[in-house]
Chains A and B, each alone.
Chain A
Amino acid sequence: MIYLDNAATSWPKPPGVAEAMARFVTDVGANPGRAGHRRAVEAGRMVYAAREAIATLFGAPDPLRVVFGLNVTEALNLALRGVLRPGDHVVTSSMEHNSVMRPLRALEREGVRVTQAPCAPDGTLDPADVEAALRPETAMIALNHASNVVGTLLPVGEVGEIARRRGIPLLVDAAQTGGAYPLDMVALGIDLLAFTGHKSLCGPMGTGGLIVGEGFDARRLRPLKRGGTGSRSEWEEQPDFLPDACESGTMNVPGLAGLEVGVRWVLERGVEAIRAHEEALTRRLIEGLGEIPGVTLYGARDAARQVAVVSFTLDALDPAEVGYRLDDEFDVLCRVGLHCAPAAHRTMGTFPGGTVRFSLGALSTADEVEAAIAAVGAIAREAR
């Protein structure tokens, strides 16, 4: 089986991830922060170890500004709903996932104004178009780091400079880059970094979070949920300090135990090395698919300017049919359709038909890429 759906969730996970989760459930099992006994303390240490690994990976100076949640969607909702107020203006791009667009459309109905800086059909964004969209009441710039549909990298560093100069907080959706592409939130000027644990961070589903930059006043972040935190228990008001302010209720500790192992694996291997591996495979995938008559590739079509996500269509074939045949006849698993990102497909001109998407991971191999290219070639030949 050839798994090319790593942009949805990475598989396989590195050795030790599943074992760490099982070890927590079997040998530790207690609720961190809800008691002072040794097992609860051990659970607390495991959560902290995961915070520290995440902070190290993203260059965040203080692990306690890593707020854990279920996934990047929850983190983006926390950042958008937690900061924006009626009358505020927010600038985003025309390549966003629905995890940004749906919260923004809902906020629009509550009086937040939204501008989508236009991206080119290959998904690239000119930072000048972001700057041109700014208004005196712009309260946030919200951008993905790389498109989940075509992998195109957005100029987060340049936009970070603009944001810093104008004093506007920058929120970055790092779902597709965290662990796969170098990302230092301080160097890039990111105030709020939303990440997911189950993609290139190599952890399990149900893990993710928001890192709140040192320069961003955490009290500006209204929690999505309020409840028990194990701290300030004598108060009926939510604590206002991180991470407790935004971490109510029992956490996914087995998931975080697995996430820590996944992130440590990424750190040991090195993000630069993972990037080099994925970039080489992506270059070959773009080249191989591009040589097949009838294949149309989307996005930058340049491995240096995208992450390991490649979208294409085959002349006269429904992407759903291509995906089904890849699975059924060639054992190649991928994702077809709109990838929860109608804005991106509109920008690319592939709405509503969608595309076939191959997405690689750190554990993908050159043989798998060759087999996938051959499979698409066979389907294309038959269709002609």
Chain B
Amino acid sequence: MSAKEYVVILFPGTSHAVRAESLLVRAGVDCRLVPVPRQLSSDCGVCVRLAPGDEDRALEVLSGAGVVIEGVHTLT
């Protein structure tokens, strides 16, 4: 695994991403909101960026709260 590898979770819109961040921070999952990488979408919104390995816990928190997820991608 490359040291520069990271995971992004995409959502339908910015409000969803901000909600996801709020839920993840409360659950103690380290994350950041970053612009959606162009190769994934031409959206002007943001997505959640996580360290690799944190995605399972993050997805558990988000699906538990009913957050709609558009995609999960591992990037370098």
Contacts and interface: CB of A to CB of B under 8 A. Distances in A.
Nearest to B14: A33
A241 B42 contact: no
A229 interface: yes
B12 A244 contact: yes
A231 interface: yes
Question: Which of A35, A40, A231, A234 gathers most chain B CB within 10 Å?
Answer: A231
Interface string A26-55: 000000111111001100110110011000
B15 A51 contact: yes
Given A36-B35, A62-B66, A234 B42 contact: yes
B68 A241 contact: yes
Interface string B22-42: 100000000001111000011
Given A36-B36, A62-B66, A241 B43 contact: no
Given A41-B46, A234-B41, A234-B43, A36 B34 contact: yes
In this complex, the interface size class of chain A, counting residues with CB under 8 Å from chain B, is 20 to 34
A231 B13 CA distance: 5
B44 A233 contact: yes
A239 interface: yes
A255 interface: no
Given A52-B22, A241-B68, A230 B13 contact: yes
Interface string A59-74: 0001110000000000
A67 B43 CA distance: 21
B19 interface: yes
Contacts of A35: 35, 44
A367 B33 CA distance: 51
Contacts of A231: 12-14, 43-45
Contact of B14 (A32, A62, A63): A32
Q: SS class of chain B's interface: helix, strand, loop or mixed?
A: mixed
Given A63-B19, A230-B44, A234-B43, A241 B12 contact: yes
B76 to A, nearest CB: 19
A232 interface: yes
Contacts of B45: 33, 36, 230-231, 233
A232 B10 CA distance: 12
B37 to A, nearest CB: 10
B51 interface: no
Contacts of B22: 45, 48, 52
A35 B35 CA distance: 7
Contacts of B14: 32-33, 44, 230-231
Given A36-B34, A241-B12, A233 B43 contact: yes
A14 interface: no
Interface in A122-136: none
A36 B45 CA distance: 6
Interface in A201-244: 229-234, 239, 241, 243-244
A30 to B, nearest CB: 12
B12 to A, nearest CB: 5
A253 to B, nearest CB: 12
Contacts of A64: 15-16, 19
A184 to B, nearest CB: 19
A244 B68 CA distance: 13
Given A33-B46, A41-B18, 9 more contacts: A36-B45, A44-B14, A44-B18, A52-B22, A64-B16, A230-B44, A231-B14, A231-B45, A244-B15
Closest 6 CB pairs of A and B: A36-B35, A231-B13, A33-B14, A48-B18, A234-B42, A244-B13
